Amino acid sequence: MSPSTEPAGEQPVGVAPTGAVPALKVTGVTKSYRHVQALRGVDLEVRPAEVHALLGDNGAGKSTLMKILAGAVAHDGGTIEVGGVERHFSKPADAQAAGIETVYQDLALAPSLTPGENLFLGREIMRKGWLGKLGFVDRKAMSEAAIQQLSQLGARTPTSHVEVEALSGGQRQAVAVARASLWGTALVMLDEPTAALGVAQTTSVLDLVRRLRDERGLSVLLVSHNLPDVFAVADRATVLRLGENVLTTDIADVDSTDLISAMTGGRSLSGHAGPTAKDQK
């Protein structure tokens, strides 16, 4: 299981201690797809035990940056540091080895398997002794570990004898988040985690996000278009537009109008307009 990080002294939740090494630091990352410049020197810093929202309109570069951090796409330039160590990802296994886990919008769950089996998919617990050597998995151990993991996150989700396809949308999201938090020691990335969920299910998922930060001490990168969700759980936010940073701010210092203005090219908080489409030509 992922180790919990104890807060330092009376340090507020979501605020890194002075001098703390960032959980994730992206510096000057660029990415082109032939003649299309998707990312233009993007910077991003996620602090320890922080929920950091990544915002932007369609085409802003959010998905490209997320895929780079997940190891699904290689960046062209710039650096990525995880826990102060520079990393180079050529495949998803590289990002996972660095402690980064991703929950995509489609969740990537196996519908015919139980929640416990999904939590350990590809990382199965094997039976002890010669049975394990013959390839027999320990379903009981996986189920018990899944119960513990989901219980720690406050998720009310059956873990055995029920296939994932029989669960509600919120329960499936809980399974995906629990799997990410089980293996993600540095950063958990969530891609639109409340999309297509009802009010009650959305509330449950946002509570899971808080628990990742407050009780597990994990850093969370929340990619979302839903501003109410962002204001409900995020500590800070970074806004991308046309592949560039236009704003990084504490959530407490802005409102929805500020974030929308940054996303659409309105005037920034400092009084300087963000780059316009004309500037990109």
Residue 197 sits at the vertex; the CA angle it makes with 106 and 46, to the nearest 5 degrees, is 65
- CB-CB contact of 16 with 22 (8 Å): yes
**Matching residue, tokens 């090219």:** 265
**Matching residue, tokens 């958990």:** 188
Closest CA to 113 of 78, 154, 164, 179: 164
Non-local CB neighbours of 201 within 8 Å, separated by 6+ positions: 168, 169, 170, 173, 194
- CB-CB contact of 187 with 221 (8 Å): yes
Joined tokens for residue 145? 């570990």
Per-residue pLDDT of the chain (281 residues; tens, 9 = 90+): 444 333 333 334 444 444 589 999 999 999 999 889 999 999 999 999 999 999 999 889 999 999 999 999 999 999 999 999 999 999 999 999 999 999 887 767 888 888 878 888 777 777 787 876 777 777 788 777 777 777 777 767 766 678 888 888 888 888 888 888 888 889 999 998 888 788 888 888 898 899 899 988 999 999 998 999 999 999 999 999 999 999 999 999 999 999 999 999 865 444 333 433 333 33
Please state the pTM of the whole predicted model.
0.79
Residue 9 backbone class (left: φ over 0; alpha: ψ -120 to 50; beta: rest): left
Non-local CB neighbours of 215 within 8 Å, separated by 6+ positions: 4, 152
Cα dihedral value 74, 78, 83, 85, nearest 10: 90
Closest CA to 176 of 119, 125, 116: 119
Cα–Cα distances (Å) from 27 to 18, 31, 44, 78, in that order, read: 20, 13, 7, 6
